[in-house]
Amino acid sequence: MSASGTAAAGAAAGQVEHMLSQVTPGRHDTYEALLHALAEGRLWMLLWHGRAGSPDAQYGNMEVDGLGYAPCVTSAQELAVSGWNRAHEVVAGRDIARALYPDHWGVWLNPHAPGGGVGIPWPDLRRIATGLDRMPAGPLKLSEPGIQLPQFYALLTQNAHRTPAVRALRRAWVQPALGTPYLAIGLDLYDTGQGSVDAVRAMMQQSIAAVPDGLPVSTVAMSDEHDPVAMWLRANARPFYDREAHLTAPVVPGTGYGYPPRG
């Protein structure tokens, strides 16, 4: 590595350690700044087996509150202080995030430090891997939407029925740790080809006109196995539009389709 490259790596490590020292419970802003530093920095991953680059290389692992983490340190100096006597591997923050989050593993920074270090769970590694500005800051508070939007839901349901790619729609109210709460619409599609994606995008654009000004609305793919909003929707929210239920529901004479309720 060139002298300039060494200096840049040292600066990145210093930024990670500086932000790590600022993190305290409840300070989501400093934690978010730490994630940004990690995205640009590097980590010294501790290898339980093998050596860096070898086929049998295996990271260490630890479990905290039911979540898995790979332990690491934030600099060569912290590695020396930690007393780790096995091999290690230096990896860019984004690269280790991409490698670990699909298997629901996070990283634990400096577990040897006073206080036990700081854990970065896999949903936040996913944000680092895919873009911190593209994903809401966790931990997320998810619930059924309390705001009444009958015109929007009616128009969206109507447009979904005219869009053959749509199997079902779900909804959730999302409150990020930082930023504005928003309405999330879960899109369950028959296929994710470009034609279907374009049709669904047009469906949302046509429907969004019925949303009151100032209310943010976002969409999430129900097929995304790693999105925490999609995971919550699958577990907790019944569809408010379901094409297959509509097609298979028995027709009771004298009800619906313009007929008055039976009394």
Each residue's pLDDT tens digit, 115-159: 899 999 999 999 999 998 888 887 889 999 999 999 999 999 999
Cα separation values, 235 from 45, 126, 189, 201, 202, Å:
34, 20, 17, 25, 28
Please check whether residue 42 is in contact with residue 9, taking contact to mean a CB–CB distance below 8 angstroms.
Answer: yes
- The residue extents of the domains of the chain are 3-130, 141-248
- CA atoms in the 13 A half-sphere facing the CB of 249: 11
Tell me the pLDDT tens digit for each residue of 210-220: 999 999 999 99
For residue 177, the model assigns a pLDDT of: 82
How does residue 12 score in pLDDT terms, banded at 50, 70 and 90?
Answer: low
SS3 119: strand
- Domain 141-248 of CATH type 2.60.40: no
Specify the higher pLDDT residue, 260 or 191.
191
| Average pLDDT in the chain | 86
Model confidence pLDDT, tens digit, residues 239-252: 999 998 865 544 44
pLDDT given at position 7: 42
pLDDT at 238 over 60: yes
Check residue 192 and give its pLDDT.
85
Residue with tokens 């230096």: 90
> Where does the pLDDT of residue 259 fall: very low under 50, low under 70, confident under 90, or very high at 90 and above?
very low
The pLDDT of residue 248: 52
First to last CA, the chain: 82
The topology (CATH level 3) of 3-130 is Trna Endonuclease; Chain: A, domain 1 (3.40.1350)
CB 179 within 8 A of CB 136: yes
Question: At which residue do the structure tokens 């002298």 appear?
Answer: 3
Choose the weakest-confidence range: 51-60, 100-109, 232-241. Answer: 51-60
The pLDDT score that the predictor gives to residue 15 is 84
- Are the CB atoms for 37 and 12 separated by under 8 Å? yes
Q: Does the structure show a pLDDT above 70 at 258?
A: no
Amino acid occupying residue 238: R
Torsion on CA atoms 124, 115, 80, 5, rounded to nearest 10: 40
Q: How many helices (H) and strands (E) does the chain have?
A: 9, 12
